[in-house]
Structure 1
Amino acid sequence: MGIGGLLAAQEETAEPADHPAIVGGGRGGPRRRRPLRTAAIAMGVVIALVVAGSVLVALVLRSALGMDKVADYPGPGTDPVTVTVQQGDALATVAKELQEQGVVADADTFVRAFGDTGGKVHPGDFTFKKEMKASDAAQVLAGDGSKVMYFALSAGLRINESLDAIAKSAGVDRKELDSLNSQPSQFGLPSQAKTLEGYLAPGEYRFPVGTPAKDVLTSLVSATLDELKQDGITDPAKQYEVLTVASIVQAEGGRADYGKVAGAIENRLKPNDETKGLIQSDATVTYGLGTKTVQLTEEQKADGNNPYNTYVHPGLPPGPIGSPGSKAVAAAAHPTANDYLFWVTVNLDTGETKFAKTYAEHQAYVEQYQQWCTANQGKCK
């Protein structure tokens, strides 16, 4: 059998003559369908679609579950980034900021890396780089960086509270602070000043580690003196007087109009039939008592042994009763002209304050305050 006969025989063997797949002819005769190959192609398409769908679902789930998040950058990093760590910041807080700033890829990875350093979080300004390796960034935070002493003073703090905050947060020796506080003349203050009360400006402060205590206090005092000078008060004796008024405004004003409170105090210091030169401030009395209650007894108001008792002693008290903020200082330097002699905060939550020209009108407002205290037990201690 020749080659042609062999091929013919193979074709006959592969597909018998009685197979019903003959559908027509053309050049070379009738063509035959191959159902197995067609089925295989269809099956392949189905499998491809299933695989593609599975991949798509996997990608969606991976993204939703955060599985596609980069856990770490290869480093070493690109552009510099300065991050300030505040006193008391938790490691998780710092890690979150580093991730948001693009310093590290993942906060959790950084936390683990920092734990491996055995270091502690301390305040300071630290220079990182964009896209750092977590372990490298951890070493930066664990190191000294630009290590600083940090503390914050709120408006209205008394001198002992301010010194406590500086000693505790900045690590400055409290005994040294007390010694400096008892020598206000070292800071160029007038003879009336017996301590630094009223002169330690509220605010947030950062000093390089190791800054002498005197330099720290000098900076705070200078900030207050600069504020007074900006308000046009340059004479040291007048500055002391303004700070005394400002400290009362800060303590008494709450969220009231400080200018109006300062104006009312100014009116009280002038001769008048209603108050006869008495400021009658609860805040000054409690300062002299060393307490912070807002409820005074009649005996306490009548105690002439308290030099800060402005219910008994006319005029200003011996000195400031706390550290006034810049708004209170400005108000004391430039009181708002008015006819008021009395004021009382009738709602300690909102700070609503009522002003009055006569004692009778004032008493009506005091009754409102007492009603509020009755309705809000425990808030008027």
Structure 2
Amino acid sequence: MSRRARRVPAGGALRRFLLLVVVVALLAGAWAWQRQRGFADGALDGIKAGSSLVVARGDSLDAVLRKLRDAGVDTGERLQWQLLARELDAAGRLQVGEYALDAGTTPRALLLAMRDGKVLRRNFTIVEGWNIRDLRRALAKVPELRQEAAGLDDAALMRALGQPGQHPEGRFLPETYAWVRGDTDLDVLRRAHAAMAKALAAAWEARAKDLPLRSPDEALTLASIVEKETGIAEERPAIAGVFVRRLHTGMRLQTDPTVIYGMGAAYAGNIRRSDLTTDTPYNTYTRAGLPPTPIAMPGEAALRAATRPAPGDALYFVAVGDGSGRHVFSASLDAHNAAVRAYVQRYRAQQREAAPK
């Protein structure tokens, strides 16, 4: 009896010791787990607004962490990154590209983005009514976009895009295009060219009957004129209708935007009477029919208007002149001249009101 009594306390002490070890281990594990979760899902400190991380070919996790530290980001402990990368199956699978570093970016979010290749996508917008010079200037101002078109003239540019002999004007659809680091200006132009070809084909396929247009290219040219004549979307079919009726009857289009385009760099913001009588291939006052090429990049609405113009009998239009951008449409020259006189009177009155007192 006395021998068994002496063994019980010893066994109980061992059990208590083992239990203590287990509890301590569990607590330590829980603390480590919580610490790792806090690291994984806590925002990285030191990220500057608008910054990004570029992962190059062959970059290891250590190389990525060095780039983050060089950018002023507090990366914390290397071991935590290694454990998290192993947990997310990102170790050795970091994909090349540029990744956004926004305020609130966590190690988990960044590793998942690099693992899945969710690279930073930037946008470039082609504006309706731009001409090819406007487009090329805008592309050249995007420093992150690799520039390959700068030394190419228009003919060489179209050859580089796989469109030898095609005039570049009007061939790029106004839209917003996403691009990533490593893309070139030619990549963006290829996408915009393909988008325009698709939009033009769709508009031509759905065209109205008896249009005085012989090809999709002529539809593109007319759409570019419509685009430059009005910024009011609902007016575009009516504007197109005027030009289509003029083409049907053999009247000259007499549209100022074509004259301005033909003037090129000589245009200084004002069009004079002498400009209307100076012949160029684009002067629709001196030449019948459509100009030889588009004069701008038309949007899809202008393409639809050119191929499905509004019916009616109007052959003339002039700006209202009230700042709305709208036009007055007339079926006769007398009515048009009256509308022009009203416009001139309104313009002169506005000039008098704006003059210094």
Range class of TM-score, shorter chain: 0.5 to 0.7
Residue 168 of structure 2: aligned partner: 196
Residue 341 of structure 2: aligned partner: 367
Q: Which has the higher contact order (CA 8 A, sep 6+)?
A: 2
Tell me: CA distance 1:185–1:171, structure 2 relative to 1, closer, same or farther (3 Å): closer
Alpha carbon RMSD of aligned pairs, Å? 4.1
Residue 247 of structure 2: aligned partner: 269
Residue 147 of structure 1: aligned partner: 120
Cα drift, residue 299 of structure 1: 0.9
Structure with max Cα Rg? 1
Residue 241 of structure 1: aligned partner: 218
Contact 2:148–2:185 (Cα < 8 Å) also in 1: no
Structure 1 portions without partners, runs of 5+: 1-72, 79-89, 95-112, 119-123
Q: Report the AA paired with residue 290 of structure 1.
A: G
Query: Secondary structure at the residue paired with 2:312?
Result: coil
Tell me: CA distance 1:177–1:239, structure 2 relative to 1, closer, same or farther (3 Å): farther
Tell me: CA distance 1:226–1:367, structure 2 relative to 1, closer, same or farther (3 Å): same
Cα drift, residue 287 of structure 1: 0.6
Cα drift, residue 296 of structure 1: 2.2
2:262 to 288, 307, 325: 288
2:135 to 162, 182, 202: 162
Query: Secondary structure at the residue paired with 2:242?
Result: helix
Q: Report the AA paired with residue 218 of structure 1.
A: R
CA distance in structure 1 between the aligned counterparts of 2:188 and 2:101, rounded to whole angstroms: 25
Residue 218 of structure 1: aligned partner: 190
Residue 301 of structure 2: aligned partner: 327
Alignment of 1:81-230 (within 5 A): 91=49, 116-117=72-73, 126=100, 146-169=119-142, 171-173=145-147, 175-176=149-150, 178-179=152-153, 182=156, 184=158, 193=166, 195-230=167-202
CA distance in structure 1 between the aligned counterparts of 2:334 and 2:293, rounded to whole angstroms: 30
Contact 2:204–2:216 (Cα < 8 Å) also in 1: no
Structure 2 portions without partners, runs of 5+: 1-36, 43-47, 52-68, 75-97, 208-212, 353-357
Aligned residues: 262
Query: Secondary structure at the residue paired with 2:324?
Result: coil
CA distance in structure 1 between the aligned counterparts of 2:191 and 2:175, rounded to whole angstroms: 12
Residue 291 of structure 2: aligned partner: 317
Tell me: CA distance 1:343–1:294, structure 2 relative to 1, closer, same or farther (3 Å): farther
Q: TM-score with structure 2 length normalisation?
A: 0.62
CA distance in structure 2 between the aligned counterparts of 1:257 and 1:181, rounded to whole angstroms: 34
Query: Secondary structure at the residue paired with 2:120?
Result: strand
Q: Report the AA paired with residue 256 of structure 2.
A: D
Cα drift, residue 91 of structure 1: 3.4
1:252 aligns with 2:224: no
Tell me: CA distance 1:340–1:174, structure 2 relative to 1, closer, same or farther (3 Å): farther
Cα drift, residue 307 of structure 1: 1.3
Contact 2:145–2:185 (Cα < 8 Å) also in 1: no
Between the two proteins, what is the percent identity of the paired residues? Answer: 27
